[in-house]
């Protein structure tokens, strides 16, 4: 969809409410520069009327404009690097990412969080790769949200396939119920959650219906917690993680769309429209541009490529395609633009002849 989308919803969810008046219905007069990125026009899907993309609804038929979700890219370092001396280079890779049009977070190994969590200068967030569900106490080997909050951390990743049993160890995998408990606990402590879901290859080979039959139970127990401002979903086709085999853009889009449709039915259309869904599975600088073109793919959870400088290229690719901008409270259509065209500004996007 790109730049010609309306930026709506709350700032915490990576979106902005643009308070603009309706463009005069049927008016053919546009200020100079209206064709530029700043004054992008959209064509209504309902009545084909052209209007400023910054409007929330079509001024002719009142059809709602689509939501733009700020893209988000996460770098999962997993159990890397092996040496503390290598952290400086990894931090530099993340700091090279332009975060103006894309949220960025990084998941260092547990041993390294305390070393790097204050190192990032570009606004990138640090997200632990796991969390317990009860807080501090006699929980050997665990981390609590209380500790994370005290350190100023805002995000936590849970539900990664490698926590759900993909280690192949003779230990019980983290169940959907346990992950729901963790999600609830993190949210109650004021944290934000990256919640990973996915399916193995034998399921994918059976088609989309089988994929959704695997994903729905992973979502069912957290559907009441899907606050777009505080939860990001990370869809990981397990068969592509670390294998170099990436889901095609068509496969990624159909799955993301199906997830969004399920949320629209089971939670609400507004939550489905606003919640961000990342793709995770051998994402890299080469395939990121094509995957970013998928309208329901809102970014990436990156594994191996996040240990390389190309992570900045991945962030740049999705930011370029989605064209999200933090408009803040700026005057989107300065009076000078209208004056050059012999017009006098009367509202945010309305005018009369001077």
Whole-angstrom distance, CA of residue 197 vs CA of residue 222: 12
* Residue bearing the bigger pLDDT, 24 or 80: 80
Whole-angstrom distance, CA of residue 305 vs CA of residue 218: 26
What per-residue confidence (pLDDT) applies to 54?
Answer: 59
The stretch 186-206 carries a mean pLDDT of 95
Report whether pLDDT(24) > 50: no
* Residue bearing the bigger pLDDT, 9 or 57: 57
Question: From start to end of the chain, where are the E strands?
Answer: 41-43, 50-52, 72-76, 103-107, 125-126, 155-158, 192-199, 231-237, 276-279, 299-302, 343-345, 351-353
The model's pLDDT over 253-293, given as tens digits with 9 standing for 90+, comes to 999 999 999 999 999 999 999 999 999 988 999 999 999 99
Report whether pLDDT(4) > 50: no
* CA-to-CA separations, 94 to 2, 98, 106, 302, 311, in angstroms, rounded: 24, 9, 8, 12, 7
Can 321 be counted among the known catalytic residues? Answer: no
**Of 112, 162, 199, 236, which residue is the catalytic one?**
236
Whole-angstrom distance, CA of residue 136 vs CA of residue 19: 44
Confidence of residue 185 (pLDDT cuts 50, 70, 90): very high
**Of 160, 162, 199, 321, which residue is the catalytic one?**
160
Q: What is the mean pLDDT of the chain?
A: 83
What per-residue confidence (pLDDT) applies to 52?
Answer: 62
Tell if the pTM clears 0.75, that is, is over it: yes
The stretch 218-222 carries a mean pLDDT of 97
What per-residue confidence (pLDDT) applies to 56?
Answer: 62
Can 89 be counted among the known catalytic residues? Answer: no
Which of 178-187, 262-271, 289-298, 320-329 has the least mean pLDDT?
320-329
Sole residue written with tokens 């961000």:
276
Whole-angstrom distance, CA of residue 103 vs CA of residue 16: 14
Q: Report percent pLDDT > 90 for the chain.
A: 63
Domain boundaries 72-322, CATH class: alpha beta
* CA-to-CA separations, 85 to 90, 112, 129, 256, in angstroms, rounded: 10, 11, 21, 38
* Domain boundaries along the sequence of the chain: 1-68+325-354, 72-322
Residue 259 in contact with residue 199, Cβ under 8 Å?
A: no
């Amino acid at each position: 969809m790109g730049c010609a989308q309306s930026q709506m919803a709350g700032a915490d969810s990576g979106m902005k409410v643009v308070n603009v008046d309706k463009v005069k219905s049927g008016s053919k007069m546009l200020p100079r520069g209206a064709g530029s990125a700043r004054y992008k026009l959209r064509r209504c899907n309902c009545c084909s009327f052209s209007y400023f993309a910054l409007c929330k609804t079509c001024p002719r038929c009142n059809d709602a404009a689509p939501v733009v979700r700020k893209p988000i890219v996460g770098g999962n370092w997993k159990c890397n690097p092996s040496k503390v001396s290598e952290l400086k280079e990894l931090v530099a890779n993340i700091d090279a990412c332009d975060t103006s049009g894309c949220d960025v977070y990084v998941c260092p190994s547990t041993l390294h969080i305390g070393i790097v969590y204050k190192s990032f200068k570009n606004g990138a967030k640090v997200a632990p790769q796991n969390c317990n569900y009860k807080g501090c106490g006699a929980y050997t080997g665990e981390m609590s949200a209380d500790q994370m909050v005290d350190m100023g951390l805002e995000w936590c990743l849970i539900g990664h396939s490698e926590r759900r049993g993909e280690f192949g160890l003779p230990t019980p995998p983290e169940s959907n119920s346990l992950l729901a408990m963790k999600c609830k606990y993190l949210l109650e402590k004021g944290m934000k959650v990256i919640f990973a879901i996915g399916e193995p290859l034998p399921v994918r080979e059976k088609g989309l219906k089988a994929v959704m039959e695997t994903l729905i139970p992973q979502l069912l127990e957290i559907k009441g917690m899907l606050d777009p401002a505080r939860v990001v979903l990370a869809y990981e086709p397990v068969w592509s993680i670390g294998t170099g085999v990436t889901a095609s853009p068509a496969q990624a889009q159909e799955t993301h769309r199906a997830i969004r449709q399920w949320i629209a039915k089971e939670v609400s259309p507004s939550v489905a429209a606003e919640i961000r869904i990342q793709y995770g599975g051998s994402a890299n600088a080469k395939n990121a541009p094509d995957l970013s073109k998928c309208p329901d793919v809102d970014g990436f959870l990156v594994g191996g490529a996040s240990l390389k400088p190309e992570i900045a290229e991945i962030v740049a690719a999705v930011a370029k395609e989605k064209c999200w901008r933090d408009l803040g409270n700026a005057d989107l259509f300065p009076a000078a633009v209208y004056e050059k065209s012999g017009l006098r500004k009367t509202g945010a996007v309305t005018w009369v002849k001077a």
